[in-house]
Amino acid sequence: MILITYTPGAAARPEVYEPWLRSEDNPLFNRVAGIDEYSNWKLRSRGSLECTHFDFLGLAQPDDLERVWFSEELDRFRAKWVARWGYGSAGPSPVSAYATLFIRDGDPIRARERFVRIDLDPADCATGQRWKAVSAVRKHWAVGRAPSGQPWRRPIAEFNPLGCTSIALKFQASPPEYGISAECIAAPSKVTPEMGEQR
């Protein structure tokens, strides 16, 4: 699973941006071969996360990573995203310039509830789906491709813009009472008051 963290620019007003995610961004990503499920989220409580939004991009198979990440169809769409919504005049922060690749034993990522609580580097007693950070993945559409001789993926022990090595996710129908939390904007099998059934 790739956690794509970002903060869009001022043009991305919720009343315009969120319907666009539902009508264009989410359906397109979920049609791409190699993507098992893609969902869009906005943070309600940020904690130490230096972003306002994120996407869960679940890969169908681990081997699909490079094909999905460098998809020509998605790159054309991502370039339009940057041109339309952007990151503001300062450009993307480190946490918006890189995504984080996670691995987990068990079921793939699924958005089945409206809200999610996120625990960073959870204690052993934490509940929810547990994911281990593997590498930071360069967003070439935001900051350009890696210079010659440099990798597009870097081990998390070497470079970690997100600042944690594991997460626990607990999906729930009501807003979490504490911790970092987010609300679903769009998902292929998600129903919220703002959106109809999408699959």
In a domain, 192, yes or no: no
Q: 56-66, pLDDT tens digit by residue?
A: 999 999 999 99
In a domain, 197, yes or no: no
In a domain, 195, yes or no: no
> Does pLDDT of 198 surpass 70?
no
In a domain, 144, yes or no: yes
Which pLDDT does position 191 carry in this prediction? 41
In a domain, 159, yes or no: yes
Mean pLDDT of 25-36: 96
3-state SS of the chain?
CEEEEECCCCCCCHHHHHHHHHHHHHHHHHHCCCEEEEEEEEEEECCCCCCCEEEEEEECCHHHHHHHHCCHHHHHHHHHHHHHCCCCCCCCCHHHHEEEEEECCCCCCCCCCCEEEEEECCCCCCCCEEEEEEEEEECHHHHCCCCCCCCCEEECCCCCCCCCCEEEEEEECCCCCCCEEEEEEECCCCCECCECCCC
In a domain, 152, yes or no: yes
> Does pLDDT of 190 surpass 60?
no
Tell me which residue range forms the domain holding 36.
2-186
How many domains does the chain divide into? 1
Q: 110-142, pLDDT tens digit by residue?
A: 888 999 999 999 987 667 889 999 999 999 999
Which pLDDT does position 168 carry in this prediction? 93
In a domain, 19, yes or no: yes
Q: 79-103, pLDDT tens digit by residue?
A: 999 999 999 887 899 999 999 999 9
Mean pLDDT of 164-188: 94
Which pLDDT does position 193 carry in this prediction? 46
Radius of gyration for the chain, computed over Cα atoms and rounded to the nearest angstrom: 16
In a domain, 14, yes or no: yes
